[in-house]
Copies of this chain bind each other. A is one copy, B any other.
Amino acid sequence: MLKEIRVFAPASVSNIACGFDAMGFAIDNPGDEVVLRFTDNVGLTIKTITGDNNQLSYNISENTAGAPVAALMKDFNIQQGVEIEIHKKMALGSGLGSSAASAVAAAYAANILFELNLSLLELLPYAIKGEEIASGAVHADNVAPCLFGGFILIRSYSPIDIVELPVPDNLYCTIIHPNIIINTKESRKLLPVDVPLRSAITHWGNTAGLVAGLYKNDISLIGRSIEDVIVEPVRGMLIPGYYDIKDAAYEAGAAGCNISGSGPSIFALSNSLMVANNVGARMKDAANRAGLSSNIYVSTINKVGPKVLYKL
């Protein structure tokens, strides 16, 4: 019987500009790590959290990694003592699905440690439970790509309908994470309740185009479809120098560039590693000019979701 497991779960880019709340993709770097371990104590405890600047709660029901494990233990009547270590490898509120990554890593680890044999689709609601704590809303466009890997469409939330989409060859993602914090809950409050039908049509043309581009392996079509006329005008304003950083990405050859999730991270997609690296350098320069320090991540698209780092 297993005693301990350590799982990596990838960062993810939700919305992908046109597909607000409905689409996302996972990247290979960065990602969070969670350790789950049986103990001789009773119940579930969070033993350690690293990399969070002391921002995360050790209270199980308030913790994105704790809540899914607690729910699994309850539903499957796990009586043993369990402790969690959470190792954050990306900043909180970065727009890279950091809470989703911790929730998915924890749920995935629990599924194996508790020998539950749940499918990814069965695990999804548990991971969503964790994400809900962070964002204050049920949305799966980080959790689902983090859990399944690749590009994911959430066609419907009720009932949940997850569609796995193909990952084109030679697609590289550049992320710039400017070192400012945007609170997801607050950021969502700025969104309009109603949008012009004309803008909505632009978005559904683009989501359809993005999916077609993924199937056709057509990175130019993918790039043309990465356009946001609804959310970007609101959220772009919250990121100093956003439009200059975006321009820099396109000038360096990116096929598409937009805000990752609720920001402040910005993603760009490119058709080669060389271009993706160059895009990162140019975005960083532009952020510097706007007075922002930043981290750059250049990554392939993660096709597999979480990964077991070790089992004991």
User: For the complex, is A93 an interface residue (Cβ under 8 Å from B)?
Assistant: no
Distance, CA A18 to CA B192, complexed state (A): 21
A193 contacts chain B at the CB level, 8 A cutoff:
yes
How many copies of this chain sit in the oligomeric assembly? Answer: 2
Interface residues of A in 1-60 (CB under 8 A from B): 18-23
Chain B nearest Cβ from A28, distance in angstroms: 23
Which chain B residues lie closer than 8 Å to A154 at the CB level? Answer: 205
Determine whether A303 belongs to the interface, using a CB cutoff of 8 Å to chain B: no
Q: A153-B212, A163-B221 are in contact. Are A197 and B192 (CB under 8 A)?
A: yes
Complex CA gap A215/B215 in Å reads 7
In whole angstroms, what is the CA distance A21 to B208 when docked?
A: 12
Collect the chain B residues with CB atoms within 8 Å of residue A193's CB: 196-197
Nearest B residue to A21, CB-CB? B201
* 0/1 interface trace, chain A 170-183, chain B, CB 8 Å (1 if under): 00000000000000
Closest B residue to A216 by CB, please name it. Answer: B163
For the complex, is A155 an interface residue (Cβ under 8 Å from B)?
yes
Among B192, B196, B204, point to the contact of A207 (Cβ < 8 A). Answer: B204
Contact among B163, B165, B195 with A194 in the assembled complex (CB-CB below 8 Å): B195
CB-based contact A208/B208 at 8 Å: yes
Whether A191 sits at the interface, judged by CB under 8 Å, is yes
Give the distance in Å from the alpha carbon of A193 to the alpha carbon of B200 in the complex.
10
Contact B201 A153 (CB under 8 A): no
B20 touches A208 (CB 8 A): no
By a CB distance below 8 angstroms, the chain B residues around A161 are 209, 224
Question: In the bound complex, do residue B205 and residue A155 qualify as a contact, i.e. CB atoms below 8 Å apart?
Answer: yes
Q: Nearest chain-B residue to A164 (Cβ)? A: B212
Asked if B18 and A163 sit within 8 Å, CB to CB, the answer is no
Instruction: List the 7 shortest-distance A-B pairs measured between CB atoms, nearest first.
Output: A200-B200, A155-B209, A204-B204, A204-B207, A22-B205, A207-B208, A194-B194
Contacts beyond the supplied A19-B205, A153-B209: 10 A-B pairs with Cβ under 8 Å: A20-B201, A21-B201, A155-B206, A155-B209, A156-B205, A194-B195, A195-B196, A200-B203, A208-B210, A215-B215
